[in-house]
Structure 1
Amino acid sequence: DGDRLSVEAADALSLTIAGRFADGLSAGSDNLIIRAAAILAERNGISAGARFHLEKRLPVAAGIGGGSADAAAALRLATRLWNIDLDSTRPSDVAAELGADVPACIISQTCFGTGVGDQLHRIDGNELAGLPLLLVNPLIACPTGPVFQAWNGFDLGPLDPESWVAGRNDLELPAITLHPEIADVLACLREMQPRIARMSGSGATCFAIFESSSRRDAALRQISTACPDWWTMASSIR
C-alpha cells in the first residue's frame, strides 16, 4: 500500500510522520509536503495553516516518486482545506516548482513525459491500462544524484510511447554499478516471464508488468518466499 497523507485545520503549517519508513525523514520546512503547502498558501495570500500527518509506507530514495506523490497530495488536500477556487493559483500551477515528477503525480494518469519529464502527454485508451504491476525493492536507498554522476551521459535517442515493451532505462546500468542488488531483483522478476521488467526511475525499485493478476500474485509469492527482506507491492496501472 502507498503512503497516506491527511490534513486538518491549524494556525500554522506542521507535519508529523509515522509508519515503517518514517525514520530519518525531516518534518521541517525542507519536506516537500510543507514546501508544497507553503508555496500554495503564499501564491493565494492565505494566512491559515494546516496540520499534515504522513503515514510513510513507501521506501525512501526508491525511484518511484513517493515524495513527489506526497507533495501532490498535499497540494490537493490544501486546496480543499482552504477552499481555493478555480480562478486562483491551483496545484498544477506550482507543481513543477517542487520537482519534475510532481506534475505527473498531480495528473495521476498514464502519461508520456518529455523535456525533464514535466512536459506531459496523456496516453488515453492505451493497452497498459489495468495491467497488473509488481514493485520490488531490495531495501537499499538509491539517491538520484550519485546515479546520475555514474551515468556516462550518452544520449541513446528518444523513446516511443507506442513501443513501451521495447523501452529502456538509461540509468539502470549506472545504478546497478553502484548497487549490484538491483540486478538480482531484475533477474528474479524476469524469471517470472512478465511482459516487461525494468528498474524504476533512478532505482532501486524495479517493476514488472504481467498479463494477469494471477501471474503477478504467483511472482509475488515466489519472491516473498525467496527474499523475505525485500519490499514488495502488488498494484495495477491506471
Structure 2
Amino acid sequence: MPALIEDGRAKVNLTLRVVGRRVDGYHDLESVVAFADCADHLSLTPGSGLNLKTTGPLARDCGEPVDNLVFKAAQLLGERVPDLRFGDFTLDKVLPVAAGIGGGSADAAAALRLLARANGLAIDDARLIEAAQLTGADVPVCLASRACVMTGVGETLQPLSLPKMPCVMVNPRVPVSTRDVFEALGLRNGELLVGATDVIQAAAWPESGASIGDWIETLAAVSNDLEAPAMRIQPVIGEVLSALGAAGGARLARMSGSGATCFAIFEDGAEALRASQKIQQDHPMWWMHVGALS
C-alpha cells in the first residue's frame, strides 16, 4: 500500500476566554479557533509495526519519537480498535513547538486521520474521537481542522463560517509551557475567572457571509485571557505584538493559545505581505508565516 499523507494545519485561537478552573483541576475555556494555511506534513506507510521518523527544518525540536503525540494518539487508538494496522510515520516538522498553535496536537490529529484511512474507520468513529480527547485538549478540534467555537476542555465544538482572513503569524523562537502559563494565571480548583455575580454570556458571532471587517470588530471585543500571564513568563511576546502593530495595516493583533506565537489580521493580503517583510527585516531570527486564516 502506498504512503498516505495528511497535513497538520496550525491552529490559531482568535479568542481565548478562561471561564474558570474546575474542581478536577482542568480549565473550562471558550475559544474561537481558526486554522492557518501553514502545516506540518505527516505520511504513513501502513505496516505491522509503529515507527516515527522526523525530518524538516524543526525536526531537532521534536524530542524523542516515543514522546511525540503522534505515538500517543496511535497507541490510544490501538487500545480501542482490535488489530489496528499501524505502520511507519514520517513527520516533516515545519511549525514551531510549544508555540500556542497546536503543532503537536495537529500532528496527532493527522496521525489519527491517517490511521482511520488505513483501517477504513469513519472520521466520526467514537473510538477515534475518544483517542483524540485523551491525547490532548486541542486534538479534537485539530481532527476536523475547521473553524469553530471550542468550549469545555476542548470536547465541545460548534462550527463557524469564517471568511479567509489575511494574516501574519510570528513566533520569536521561544518555547512557552502551557502548564506554566495556566499556573501563572493563578486560578484555584473550583474558582471562576469571572466574578461570582457576573452573568456569562456567549458572544454573538457573525453569521455566514459576514465580512472580514465584521469579524474583526466582533473578535476585538473578546480577548485572550492567557496573554497577560504568558507575557509575564516571556516578555518577548509583548515585543512581537508591538512589531505586528507597528508594521502597518494590522486590524487586530493578539497572542494565540498560551503563546508565544502571535498573529495579526489584515483586510488586504498585500498589506499583510508588506507587514511581514518589515518584521522579517527588523527581526530576521523570528519564525514567520504570511497567509490566511479560515
Q: Does TM, normalized by the shorter one, top 0.5?
A: yes
**Alignment correspondent of 2:151:** 114
AA partner of residue 207 (structure 1): F
**SS of alignment partner, residue 173 of structure 2:** coil
**Alignment correspondent of 2:168:** 134
Please give the alpha-carbon distance, in whole angstroms, between the structure 2 residues aligned to 1:208 and 1:101. Answer: 21
**SS of alignment partner, residue 166 of structure 1:** coil
Instruction: Pick the structure with more strand per residue.
Output: 2
* Equivalent of residue 65 in structure 1, options 87, 92, 102: 102
Please give the alpha-carbon distance, in whole angstroms, between the structure 2 residues aligned to 1:58 and 1:177. Answer: 24
Q: Note the residue ranges of structure 2 that are not aligned, 5 or more in a row.
A: 1-37, 195-199, 206-217
- Contact map agreement 1:198 1:208 (CA 8 A) in 2: yes
1:170 aligns with 2:208: no
- Contact map agreement 1:44 1:88 (CA 8 A) in 2: no
Q: Which has the higher contact order (CA 8 A, sep 6+)?
A: 2
C-alpha displacement of 1:178: 1.0
**Alignment correspondent of 2:259:** 203
| TM-score relative to the length of structure 2 | 0.75
Please give the alpha-carbon distance, in whole angstroms, between the structure 2 residues aligned to 1:29 and 1:161. Answer: 43
Q: Note the residue ranges of structure 1 that are not aligned, 5 or more in a row.
A: none
RMSD: 2.0
C-alpha displacement of 1:230: 0.5
For residues 1-238 of structure 1, the aligned pairs below 5 Å read 1-84=38-121, 89=126, 91-124=128-161, 128-153=162-187, 155-156=193-194, 160=203, 162=205, 163-191=218-246, 192-238=248-294
AA partner of residue 149 (structure 2): F
AA partner of residue 203 (structure 2): D
AA partner of residue 181 (structure 2): V
- Contact map agreement 1:41 1:47 (CA 8 A) in 2: yes
AA partner of residue 183 (structure 1): G
Moved over 6 A (4+): none
Larger deviation: 191-200 or 52-61?
A: 191-200
| TM-score relative to the length of structure 1 | 0.91
Please give the alpha-carbon distance, in whole angstroms, between the structure 1 residues aligned to 2:155 and 2:124. Answer: 23
Larger deviation: 115-124 or 151-160?
A: 151-160
AA partner of residue 62 (structure 1): A
- Contact map agreement 2:85 2:115 (CA 8 A) in 1: no
**SS of alignment partner, residue 3 of structure 1:** strand
- Contact map agreement 1:133 1:216 (CA 8 A) in 2: yes
C-alpha displacement of 1:25: 2.2
C-alpha displacement of 1:82: 2.1
C-alpha displacement of 1:85: 5.1
Please give the alpha-carbon distance, in whole angstroms, between the structure 1 residues aligned to 2:237 and 2:193. Answer: 22
Q: 1:161 to 1:100 in 2, by over 3 A?
A: farther
Deviations 1:203-228 (A, max 9, x none): 00001111011111111111001110
Identity %: 41
- Contact map agreement 2:249 2:275 (CA 8 A) in 1: no
Deviations 1:109-166 (A, max 9, x none): 1101111232111113xxx421112110011011111111111436146662523121
